[in-house]
Amino acid sequence: MLVWVRNLLENWVARAFFALLVLVFVFWGISNVVTLIGSNTAVAHVGGEAVDISVVQASYQKALNRAAQSGQGQPDLATRRELAQAALADVLRTQVMRREERKLGVAAPAAVIREEIDAIPSFQTNGVFDAKKFAQVLAQNNSSPNQFIAEARDSVAGRQLIIPVIAGATPPATLVKQVFSFVAEQRVAETVTIPFADQPAPQPPADAVLQRYWRNHPAAFTAPQYRTLKLVILSPVLLAPHESVSDTEVDAAYARVAASQPPARPERSVQMIVVNNIAAESQLAAAWKQGKSWAEMQALAPKFGANAIVLDKSTQVQIPSPDLAAAVFAAKPGEVSGPVAGGQNMYLFKVTAVTSNGPDVAALKAQVRQQLQLQKAQAEVAKDVDNLQDALAGQTPLDRLPGNLGLTAVQGTLDAEGNTPQGETAPIPGSDALKAAILKAAFAVQANDPAQLTNGPDGSYFALTVSQITPPALQPYDQVRAKVLSAWTQDEITREAEVKAAALLAAVNKGKRFDDAASAAGEAVAMTAPFTRETPPSGMTTAMLPVMFSLKPGQATMVQTDTGFTVADINKIIEPTPTQDPANFAKVSQALAKAVQNDIGESFLAGLQARDKVTIDQKLFAQIYQ
C-alpha cells in the first residue's frame, strides 16, 4: 500500500491534489481568525454612523438587572425581546438627539450637571452630596461615575433640545371642555337590592330531580385530573433556616451594614403646654402647685388661652426653639418640666418616650443572620447541584438519592391547582413561585418519565416523577348528593331573586316610576350619592358603572352580584362646569397638555430618526436577547 502511494505521488496531478488538500486544511485552521477580521458589530446606523452592539447590550443588561432586582425571575424569550427592543430604542433616541444637539450647538454646562447630581437624595448624607455614597450606589447598580455623568449630560442637553419644541403646545379648548365634561359628569341613581339571603329556601326536591340536575351539570361535579408524584427540592431558601451562623459572624456583618447606614439621631416624644402670656403662665403654675395632674393641666390649658400640643418622635432640630430643644433632650422621661422660654412663648412639657431614628438593632441583626444563613445555603446548593445532576443522569430513583444533598422530599396526589383529592392544599414547601413552577412541570410530563433537574425561582432546583395520572371523571351521584342538593338549592334561590329583579326592571322600562314600581313589589329604594366614571358609589360594582353612564334618566338596568341582584335607574345627571370644579378642570387641562406635548416630542424624535435614515441589523440585534 505504501509503495502504491509513493508511486502515486510521483504523478504531478496527484501532487497538485495533495497540495490543494494541504491548503484547504490550513485555511480551515485559520478560518476563525480570518472571519473575525473586519467583522461587523454595528447593530444599527444613524445618519451613516455605526451604533456598536455593545452599547445596546449594556442598556439591555441594565434592564435585565432591574427585572431581577424587582423579583420578576428569569424572563422568557418574549420578555427578553421586549427589553432588548426598549434598550435599542433608548440608544437610538440618544444617538439622534446627540446628532441634533451637535448640529444646533446645544451643550450641557458642567455646573448644571453637577448641581443636578448633587441634588439627588440617594447620593446625599444628611442632606449633603457624599462622593463615597455616590460611587457606592452606582456600584450597587452596576454603573460607574463616568457612565452616570454621561447619562446626566445627555439628560440636560436633551431637555434643552426638547423643551423648546413642546413648551408652547396646548390642547384645544373644545377638547379640554369635552374631556372635562366626560370625566367630571356626575350621576345620581336609585337602586333596589334583592339579596339571595332574603329569598325563601325551597323544599328539597325528589331524588329524581337531583339526579337530573347532576347529569345536566357534569362540569360542577367532575373531579379534576390528579397526578401522583414524587418530588425532591434543592433550595437555598429551604436550607437556610438550618444553617449555623455564629454570633461573631453576625456581629462582623452587622458592623459592615451599620457603617453604611446614616448615623442614628436621638428622638423625643413630648407633650407640651404652650403659653404666650404671663397671666396664663401664672394661672397654670398656680394650678400645678395646687396638685393638678398633668392630664388635668392639659385640659385646663385652653381655658387660660394656652395650647396643648404633642410632638411625636422629634429630633432636636425639629423642636421649634433651640433653648426648648436643649431642655427637652436634657429632661428625664415621665417628669413635668418647665416653664422654659422659647421664642415669644413659655413651655411646660413632659417627655413621654426616648427613641432613635436609627434601625432597630435586634431586628437588623436578625436580618443579617438570615442573610448569612441564606448565603451559606446558596453555597451548599452550588456545591450539591452537580452531584444531584449526576445522580439523576444515572437514573437513581428519587427515593434513593444520597441523603447528604440537602434535599427536601415530598410525595402525594394533587390536581393542577395544588389541591389534594380531599380538597386540602398540598404541602409543597417553598414560595408561591416555586410551587407554581412545580405544578406546571408536574402537569407537563408523562407518567413514568425519568426525572429531570429543573431550575426553579430564587436559585432553587427540583426534580419529579409522575407515577400515576387519574383522568377527570364525573363523581358518582351517591358521593356528591349533598353537593348536588346545595347547588340545586342555590340555583333555585338565584332564579327566584332574578325573577323579582326582572319584573321590577320591566315595569320601570315600560314607563312606571322607579319608586312606584319598587313600592308595588315591596322593595325599598336607596338613593346613591353623586358619582363619576372613576368613583362608583358604595355597593355598585365596577362592571355596573359604565352601564349607568350609558342610560338616560328613567332607564333602568339590573346586574347580578355575589350577594344578589341590583336594579338601578338614573335619577339625575349633573353636568359639570369649570367654575364649579376648577381643580378637576385644571387637572384635565394639565393631563391633556402633557399628552399633547408627549405626542409632539415623540413626533419630533420620529422625524429625526427618519431624517437620519436609521437602519437596524435585525439578525445581529436578535443575538442580544436569544
b/e string for 551-582 if b means 16 or more Cβ within 10 A? beeeebbbebbeebbbbbbbbeeeebebeebe
User: What mean pLDDT value characterizes the chain?
Assistant: 85
Mean pLDDT throughout 217-224?
93
According to the model, what pLDDT value does residue 72 have? 62
Lowest mean pLDDT among 140-144, 240-244, 561-565: 140-144
According to the model, what pLDDT value does residue 363 have? 80
According to the model, what pLDDT value does residue 9 have? 47
Q: State which fold the 225-246+364-471 domain adopts.
A: Chitinase A; domain 3 (3.10.50)
According to the model, what pLDDT value does residue 164 have? 85
Q: How does residue 5 score in pLDDT terms, banded at 50, 70 and 90?
A: very low
Lowest mean pLDDT among 294-298, 398-402, 621-625: 294-298
Predicted confidence (pLDDT) at residue 34 exceeds the cutoff of 80: no
Contacts of 472 (CB under 8 A, 6+ apart): 222, 223, 224, 225
Mean pLDDT throughout 62-77?
72
Predicted confidence (pLDDT) at residue 458 exceeds the cutoff of 50: yes
> How far from 449 is each of 393, 415, 439, 441, CA to CA, in Å?
13, 18, 16, 12
**What are 565-612's pLDDT values in tens digits?**
999 999 999 999 988 888 888 898 989 988 988 898 888 888 888 888
Mean pLDDT throughout 28-53?
67
Whether the upstream peptide bond of residue 339 has omega within 30° of 0, thus cis, is yes
Cell output for 53: 452592539
d(CA 305, CA 274): 9
Predicted confidence (pLDDT) at residue 18 exceeds the cutoff of 70: no
Residue 311 CB: number of other CB atoms within 10 A? 18
Amino acid identity of 341?
A: A
**What are 300-332's pLDDT values in tens digits?**
778 777 788 888 888 888 887 888 888 889 998
Predicted confidence (pLDDT) at residue 141 exceeds the cutoff of 60: yes
First to last CA, the chain: 52
Predicted confidence (pLDDT) at residue 134 exceeds the cutoff of 90: no
Residue 322 CB: number of other CB atoms within 10 A? 12
According to the model, what pLDDT value does residue 435 have? 95
- Hey, which bits of 47-102 come out as E strands? 49-52
Q: How does residue 56 score in pLDDT terms, banded at 50, 70 and 90?
A: confident
Let me know: does 590 contact 582? Beta carbons within 8 Å. no
Lowest mean pLDDT among 42-51, 114-123, 354-363, 446-455: 354-363
According to the model, what pLDDT value does residue 236 have? 93
Predicted confidence (pLDDT) at residue 15 exceeds the cutoff of 70: no
| CATH of span 186-221+478-574 | 3.10.50.40
According to the model, what pLDDT value does residue 299 have? 82
Contacts of 160 (CB under 8 A, 6+ apart): 101, 106, 108
Cell output for 414: 394533587
According to the model, what pLDDT value does residue 98 have? 85
Phi, psi of 88 (to 5 degrees): -65, -45
Place of cell 407633650: 271
Amino acid identity of 323?
A: D
**What are 467-496's pLDDT values in tens digits?**
999 999 999 999 999 999 999 999 999 999
Reported as type and span, the H/E element at residue 583 is helix 582-611
Beta bridge partners of 191: 526, 568
Predicted confidence (pLDDT) at residue 23 exceeds the cutoff of 70: no
* Architecture label for domain 265-357: Roll (3.10)
According to the model, what pLDDT value does residue 517 have? 94
d(CA 214, CA 471): 19
Let me know: does 564 contact 191? Beta carbons within 8 Å. no
**What are 532-572's pLDDT values in tens digits?**
988 888 878 888 889 999 998 888 999 999 899 999 999 99
d(CA 349, CA 342): 12
Place of cell 444520597: 402
Predicted confidence (pLDDT) at residue 30 exceeds the cutoff of 80: no
| CATH of span 43-167+613-625 | 1.10.4030
According to DSSP, the β-strands at 226-234 and 408-414 are antiparallel
d(CA 456, CA 454): 6
According to the model, what pLDDT value does residue 69 have? 64
Question: 436 vs 127, which has greater pLDDT?
Answer: 436
According to the model, what pLDDT value does residue 71 have? 58
Question: 20 vs 160, which has greater pLDDT?
Answer: 160
Predicted confidence (pLDDT) at residue 48 exceeds the cutoff of 60: yes
